[in-house]
Amino acid sequence: MPNGTFRLRRNRSQLPGFGLTLGLSVAYMSLLILVPLGALVLFSMNLSPREFWRVVSDSRVLAAFRVSFGSTFLAATIDMFFGFVIAWVLARYRFFGKRLVDAIIDLPFAIPTAVTGIALATLFSPKGLVGGQLAALSAWINARFGVNVSLDIAFSGTGIVAALMFIGIPFIVRTVQPVLEELDKEVEEAASSLGANFHQIFLRVIFPSILPALLTGFALAFARGLGEYGSVIFISSNAPYESEIVPLLIVMKLGEFNYEGASAIGVSMLACSFLLLLAINFLQAFARNRRKA
């Protein structure tokens, strides 16, 4: 058999259709993601670079960026911790009502975000079920110790974080849980036969194995949180410079028919998110490569 044909055959995979599937993927991604985003970028170019810079470097816009990225980062980080604990409990233990808990985890995916925002705002407002208690507690601390603390959750920065935590938690649980379930029990037993205590087994054996999944979950929760609008605007006081998120600013610009301004903020947000996700992807690849090499 001539060498050339042999090589060709060997390289072919068992299932045909690479060309077709790749073509479809590219077409679909272009239509759905690249074309709209490209249009956004093109539209923002109606502004001169100087004007673009002026819109983006406006102090109110910068403050909104700080609020958006800061609270999303904080929320995703807290979610990473608690999401891991929830995933651990679901993957490791059997208990009454486990199926129910498992189903509840997905609720934030399904509930309209405005409903979430209103529910949280009602709960945490100074007259709400939880907010009332917190207001009483801060008043008591104020009277007892003379320290002025504010435990307001609704209509503050804390409220934004609370809403984003709610939105983000299923992403962490759903990425970490299957990996935890797949973990080989024997690997832990091997470690304990070598003299490792639980602390060491967790840090040196379990944690490195789930780190890539945890980072994926974090990236998803973070990305989702950055774009979140509906729930945040209800629970936040939306005060400029303090608790105003970037998506809200974009909506406001649109309301003023300032389409170019809105697109400029949108593009800069897009760039920031893309860079962040890229960085997380690199981190993830690093964590994964240590295993596969």
Partner 1 sequence: MGIEISNVSKYFGDFAALDGIDLKIPDGELTALLGPSGSGKTTLLRIIAGLETPDQGSIRFFGEDATQKRTRDRKVGFVFQHYALFKHMTIFENIAFGLRIRPRKSRPDKETIRAKVERLLDMVQLNGMARRFPSELSGGQKQRVALARALAVEPKVLLLDEPFGALDAKVRQELRRWLRYLHDELHITSVFVTHDQEEALEVSDRIVILNKGGIEQIGTPEEVYDNPVNPFVYGFLGNVNLFHARFEEGVLSLRHREKDDGDPTLFIRPHDISIAPDNADGKGIAARVLTHKVLGNRVRVTLKTLEGDREAEAEIGKKEWNALKGNDLDAIYLRILEAKIYAPNETWSDYVI
Closer by beta carbon to partner 1, 40 or else 196: 196
The residue from 119, 123, 205, 276 that contacts partner 1 (CB under 8 A) is: 205
Angle at which helices 157-182 and 207-227 cross, to 10°: 140
Residue with Cβ nearer partner 1 (208 or 240):
208
Contacts of 58 (CB under 8 A, 6+ apart): none
Is the CB of 106 or the CB of 181 nearer to partner 1?
Answer: 181
The residue among 75 and 287 lying less far from partner 1, judged by its C-beta, is: 287
- Look at the alpha carbons of 257, 263, 266, 272 in this order and tell me if their dihedral is positive or negative: negative
Q: Any idea what DSSP says for residue 203?
A: I
- Which of 54, 288 has the CB closer to partner 1? 288
Q: Is 193 in the site for partner 1 (CB under 8 A)?
A: yes
Counting contacts by CB under 8 A, is residue 200 touching partner 1?
A: yes
From the number of C-beta atoms within 10 Å of its C-beta (0-12, 13-18, 19+), residue 170 rates as buried
Binding-site size for partner 1 (CB under 8 A) equals 21
Which residues from 172-191 bind partner 1, rule CB under 8 A? 184, 186-187, 189-191
In the chain, % helix, strand, coil (3-state, to 5) comes to 80, 0, 20
Q: Supply the minimum distance, in Å, between the C-beta of residue 290 and partner 1.
A: 5
Could you tell me if 92 and 180 are in contact, meaning their C-beta atoms sit under 8 angstroms apart?
yes
Q: Which of 2, 49, 195, 255 binds partner 1 (CB under 8 A)?
A: 195
Q: CB–CB of 222/172 below 8 Å?
A: no
Residue from 12, 99, 144, 292 in contact with partner 1 (CB under 8 A): 292
Binding site residues, partner 1, CB under 8 A: 184, 186-187, 189-197, 200, 204-205, 208-209, 290-293
